[in-house]
Structure 1
Amino acid sequence: MATPARRTSKTKKRIRRGNKKLTAPSIHFDELTGEYTLSHHVSPSGIYKGKPVIQKNNENPA
């Protein structure tokens, strides 16, 4: 089993572990639909770049 020759200092250890963090998703408010959307994704109402992409079915499948 590999054993370190020297003990890792607190500073080196904290610098290495300091890069492990979560990033907030890039969310923007779409004024056309009035809802928040992830960048480069279709909005929940089915609009992308101001154009309807997905049409929702109003039919009941049952």
Structure 2
Amino acid sequence: MAVPKRRMSRSNTRTRRAQWKASAPTLAPCSNRACRQPKPPHVACPNCGQYDGRPVVSPA
């Protein structure tokens, strides 16, 4: 197993970690024509409770 010979400097560590960026969550409009609220894809709509045109969850 490979093991580092020297400790990585704070500058190099922070430079490497600077590339880790948080991405904005993907949102798609609800398929219900009366709702059209943004929601994550492949998830029941938290506003109207429908998924793929069928009521799945009681709306909040």
Q: Which category of TM-score, normalised to the shorter sequence, fits these structures?
A: 0.5 to 0.7
Is 1:42 paired with 2:51?
A: no
Aligned residues: 50
Query: Where does structure 1 differ by over 6 angstroms across 4 or more consecutive aligned residues?
Result: none
| Cα shift readout 1:9-45 (whole Å, capped 9, x = no counterpart) | x5x542x123321111110112522211111111021
User: Match of 2:17, as an amino acid?
Assistant: R
What RMSD, in angstroms, separates the aligned Cα atoms of the two structures?
A: 2.7
Higher relative contact order (CA 8 A, sep 6+): 2
| Structure of larger gyration radius | 1
Match 2:54 to one of 37, 51, 54: 51
Over the matched positions of the two proteins, sequence identity in percent amounts to: 24
Indicate the structure with greater strand content. 1
Structure 1 gaps, min length 5? 57-62
TM-score by length of 1: 0.56
Aligned to 1:22: 22
Query: Is this contact kept in 1: 2:28–2:39, CA < 8 A?
Result: yes
Could you say what secondary structure the match of 2:38 adopts? strand
